[in-house]
Structure 1
Amino acid sequence: MSSSATTREHLLEVGLKQLRSTGYTATGVKEVLDLAKVPKGSFYHYFPSKEVFAGELLARYGEQEIQRAQRILGDTSIAPLKRLRAYFDELISVYGNKAEISGCLIGGLSLEVADHSPKLQVQLQSTYTAWQDAIAEVLRQAVKAGDLSPSVKPDALAEFVLNSYEGALVRMKAEQSGRPLKNFLHFIFGVLLKP
């Protein structure tokens, strides 16, 4: 790997961690450069603006989450609703209140920049759509397996599940408590999706 690719990669790694920790507004270019121990000119050599940098970080985060979803939700050796529960259990262990960095970057950026950055708003919308589609596919499989009623509308239900999860994460941060996520799991898997 060339030095140029290494510097760019390092900036993205440091930037993603910082963006997740402090959010878009509080993450300054200078702060990322200081943490990465990279000169200012290097940043602008790779990224023409903070918005472009954040877009690349969001794409990287989204790709990591697509891989997680494929690994867990795509394991057809496990019943669909069990896969979905395992998926959210893992998400909560990674992003819940006991995680090193709690909260979801997609949700955080949605709250912070979607109204102000059309470019990032489109990227956030696309990320949510892909995420919702992955959940809807598992719900379709659950209907086909007879674990959910044939009257279930998988796309609408997937949107509700995803919105409930993101809302629970926001409330978790506001209350500094795992209770909203416990309630999410109970009502989604113990009531709504109970076979």
Structure 2
Amino acid sequence: MANLKRTREDILTSAIATVHRQGLQSTGLKDLFAVTQASSGSFYNYFPSKDEFAHALIDFQWQQIREDTFEATKELAEDPIARLFLVIDKIEAKHLSEINCAGCLLGNLIVDLVEHNESFRQHLQQIFDDWQALFAELLQAGKAQLSDRVDPDLLAEQILTMLEGVLLMVRLYSDSDRLRRGFNNIRQVVKAALVSQQP
């Protein structure tokens, strides 16, 4: 029986695994009601439409990533480059813990949603711009450790692009060793940008 007292966060949290695994377009409203144990009235109270639910899920997932990686490492390292490596480590650990190797939910939603409605393209662009900006912020703060030839903003773009590429290929191959190799390649790109690594 549906739980009429499910909160907005309850619904989003309980829907993530299903949407992550099978995509939002392939997940019907009945599926969402079932997996979230929310009545249709409760669901629509928070999300007037499936598109509104999708936008909320995008924001919720980005909040989780930000808190679990960038926010969680603030107290662990004062050095911005050391913190960048911790962020990379945390993202890798999160995906290694996901047995089904479902890739990045936000990356998956690019393929799933951007052709469905232009508002999703704009929303996801903003999210990925914000993600890239957080990488760039750490690199800018640690610029003294970077080679003069390195543009922190372009390196941030490269890190995010590599990260999403790795997670997409891991979803295809469902191979944790491939994930580890991909994240090691990301670390090598950052290390190669450091002054201490220059000949």
Q: Which residue of 2 aligns with 1:62?
A: 62
Write the deviation string for residues 75-119 of structure 1: whole angstroms up to 9, x where unpaired.
4744333221221111111123x4145321110101211122211
Aligned equivalents of 2:39 and 2:165: distance in 1? 39
Q: Distance in 2 between matches of 1:135 and 1:182?
A: 20
Give the whole-Å Cα distance in 1 for the aligned partners of 2:100 and 2:126: 24
Which residue does the alignment assign to 1:15? Answer: 15
Unaligned runs of 5+ in 1: none
Over the aligned positions, Cα root-mean-square deviation in angstroms equals 2.3
- TM score, norm. by length of structure 2: 0.83
Q: Is residue 50 of structure 2 the alignment partner of residue 50 of structure 1?
A: yes
Structure 1 window deviating more from structure 2 (150-159 vs 71-80): it is 71-80
Query: 1:5/1:160 Cα in 2 relative to 1: closer, same or farther (>3 Å)?
Result: farther
1:180-191 equivalences in 2 (<5 Å)? 180-191=178-189
Instruction: Report the TM-score when normalising by structure 1.
Output: 0.85
Which amino acid counterpart does residue 99 of structure 1 have in structure 2? E
- The residue that corresponds to 1:137 in the other structure is 137
* 1:151 maps to amino acid: R
Judge conservation of contact 1:73–1:134 (CA < 8 Å) in 2.
no
Deviation string, structure 1 residues 102-142 (Cα, Å, up to 9, x no partner): 32111010121112221121111111011101101111122
Look up the SS of the partner of 2:24 in the other structure: helix
Q: Which residue of 2 aligns with 1:33?
A: 33
The answer to which of 168-177 and 62-71 deviates more is 62-71
Matched letter for residue 158 of structure 1: A
2:167 to 161, 166, 169: 169
Q: Aligned residue pairs: how many?
A: 190
Letter in 1 for 2:150: V
Conservation of the 8 A alpha-carbon contact between 1:80 and 1:142: yes
